[in-house]
Amino acid sequence: MTIHKEGYPTIAWTAIAFGVINLLSFYLLSFDWPVLSALIFIVTLGLLLFIISFFRIPNRQMTYDEHSIVAPCDGKVVAIEEVNADEYFNDRRIQVSIFMSPLNVHVNRHPVTGEAVYSQYHKGKYLVAWHPKSSTENERHTVVYRKNGKEVLTKQIAGALAKRIVNYVSPGQQVKQNDEMGFIKFGSRVDLLLPLDAKIKVKIGDLPRGGVTVVAEW
């Protein structure tokens, strides 16, 4: 396991806060209120470990398959439905939505190998990530990949706690399946918009793993 580069500043500041709080607790509270001082240590240590865990990148055996669309993130499948595309496409598509809780791995990966033909950031609201309107009203970043004449759209969506979307993709960039697309901090969602003839391989309630689970085939 490694730590994602996006986590270095946050982890550093959290570690500093952990040290300062517990030094003050030791000198001001530990002699008269040792239980309170111990409780402060346990709570702040738990917070520090949670922050470190949030930015983890686990070692995995990735799935590479030119006919497969691989999950761009960890999480839970909360929607599979046919929708009218609201961006880039002008037709109907199958939308697969994956919700990421703060406990999930938050690295986002390219679902296919191909060309990134579109990459666009949108300012927006911070509705809870499972809200139906979060896909169109929340802060988000959309990327469209083209492979052998077919296209798939991914949409990183901020949630109520996610206040920063990071995306590394530029239009015209050639990308490789499962390389890093970006990162979303603290709870979020990723939507996939797939062609109607794509064969969906997941169902609502499934827990895909980014870079491993095949979401669909085309």
For residue 2, the SS3 value is: strand
- How far is it, in rounded angstroms, from Cα 137 to Cα 49? 33
**pLDDT confidence of residue 135:** 62
Band (pLDDT 50/70/90 cuts) for residue 80 is very high
For residue 6, the SS3 value is: helix
Domain ranges for the chain, please list them.
2-57, 68-217
pLDDT tens figures, 137-193: 678 899 999 998 899 999 999 876 656 788 999 999 999 999 999 988 776 889 999
Contact 167, 139 (CB under 8 A): no
**pLDDT confidence of residue 127:** 62
Instruction: Classify 68-217 by CATH class.
Output: mainly beta
pLDDT tens figures, 9-19: 999 999 999 99
H or E element at residue 17? helix 8-28
Instruction: Identify the CA nearest to 57 among candidates 10, 104, 111, 97.
Output: 104
Check the CA dihedral 142-176-11-54 and report its sign: positive
Beta bridge partners of 3: 56
φ, ψ of residue 69 to 5 degrees: the values are -105, 115
List the catalytic residues: 188
Q: What is the pTM of this model?
A: 0.83
Flag whether pLDDT at 31 surpasses 80: yes
* Distances, alpha carbon 177 to alpha carbons 121, 156, 165, 186, in Å: 21, 17, 20, 24
